[in-house]
């Protein structure tokens, strides 16, 4: 890793750049001084198609002038702006600085609007058409990559339009999730459950909790072993939002449905990460986004 953080590559880039500019200047000087061997009629002796002869005329002055201007411009540019390795230039400009300035300008322009929304409850913000449009755009830019453009999610990514919430669907919980993110960890517990047959029995018992097709004999045998799972999912299998454990009785399967999917989960476990938006989005933006997400499962967003 030190190969990419040492000053060598900065000097290497700067050296290649300066050598290239110097080489262009030397090439121009050489072409102006070098004399080609020509005949008395100022031709080089090269003939094409029988009568096309190459003349030895000097480069046009306008072309030489443009070449010189290009070299001078490149030197001035590299003196003022970044381009020579880690040398930042004397003008103080940087792409990061320009980006930050433009973001700050944009934030200042929308600050009054966000201030209005920030003073409102999430439930009220979700009913505002303008806030809904802003929240939808924030969702598309920051959430749709995992939850889908329609927020219906997919395997491993929760559906945000229903009322099934791992950590709670209140405005406060949604806001907390957006701020801090979440880490869901289902540990592999096959060893604690027992044999492979015991795991299969537990899988059938889990299926029975939601009324899904299952082997009733295996389910009855797996009920006793379910005590290992009950530590997180509760004795009734309805989960605990305090720790983000799934409700096993509602027939909603985040990581796949059926006996094989449950067995794989017991054997291998699963870790899911919801990245924190804090630092990426402002408090006001998270407030508006939370109102949009809350509205998806509460039929609150206003239609424009």
Round to whole Å and give the CA distance between 109 and 99: 15
At residue 199, the pLDDT reads 96
Least reliable range by pLDDT among 28-42, 108-122, 168-182, 197-211: 28-42
Q: 51-65, 186-200, 225-239: which range is least confident on average?
A: 51-65
pLDDT value at residue 30? 87
Alpha helices in the chain (DSSP H): 2-5, 8-33, 61-80, 95-118, 122-125, 129-142, 144-147, 171-180, 190-193, 196-209, 216-225, 227-233, 259-268, 283-296
Is residue 272 within 8 Å of 156, Cβ to Cβ? yes
Look up the pTM and report it.
0.71
Instruction: State phi, psi for 147 to the nearest 5 degrees.
Output: -90, -5
Average pLDDT, the chain: 90
Tokens 């381009």 correspond to 83
CA distance 103 to 254: 37
DSSP 210: T
């Amino acid at each position: 890793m030190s190969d990419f953080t040492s000053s060598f590559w900065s000097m290497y880039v700067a050296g290649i750049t300066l050598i290239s500019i110097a080489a262009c200047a030397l090439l121009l000087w050489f072409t102006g001084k070098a004399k080609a061997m020509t005949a008395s009629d100022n031709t080089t002796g090269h003939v094409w198609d029988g009568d096309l002869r190459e003349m030895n005329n000097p480069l046009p002055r306008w072309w030489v002038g443009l070449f010189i201007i290009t070299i001078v411009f490149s030197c001035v540019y590299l003196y003022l702006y970044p381009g020579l390795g880690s040398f930042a230039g004397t003008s103080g400009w940087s792409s990061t600085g320009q980006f930050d300035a433009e973001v700050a300008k944009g934030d200042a322009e929308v600050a009054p609007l966000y201030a209005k929304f920030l003073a409102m409850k999430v439930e009220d913000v979700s009913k505002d058409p303008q806030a809904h449009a802003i929240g939808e755009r924030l969702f598309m830019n920051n959430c749709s990559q995992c939850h889908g453009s329609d927020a219906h999610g997919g395997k491993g990514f929760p559906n945000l339009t229903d009322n099934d919430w791992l950590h709670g669907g209140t405005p406060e919980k949604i806001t907390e999730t957006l701020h801090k993110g979440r880490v869901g960890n289902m540990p592999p517990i096959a060893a604690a459950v027992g044999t492979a047959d015991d795991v299969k029995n537990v899988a059938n018992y889990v299926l029975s909790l939601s009324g899904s097709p299952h082997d009733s004999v295996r389910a009855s045998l797996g009920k006793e072993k379910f005590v290992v799972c009950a530590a997180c999912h509760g004795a009734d299998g309805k989960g605990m939002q305090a720790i983000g454990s799934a409700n096993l009785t509602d027939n909603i399967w985040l990581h796949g449905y059926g006996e094989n999917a449950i067995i794989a989960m017991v054997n291998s476990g699963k870790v899911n990460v919801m990245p924190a938006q804090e630092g990426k989005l402002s408090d006001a933006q998270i407030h508006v986004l939370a109102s949009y997400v809350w509205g998806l499962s509460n039929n609150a967003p206003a239609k424009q």
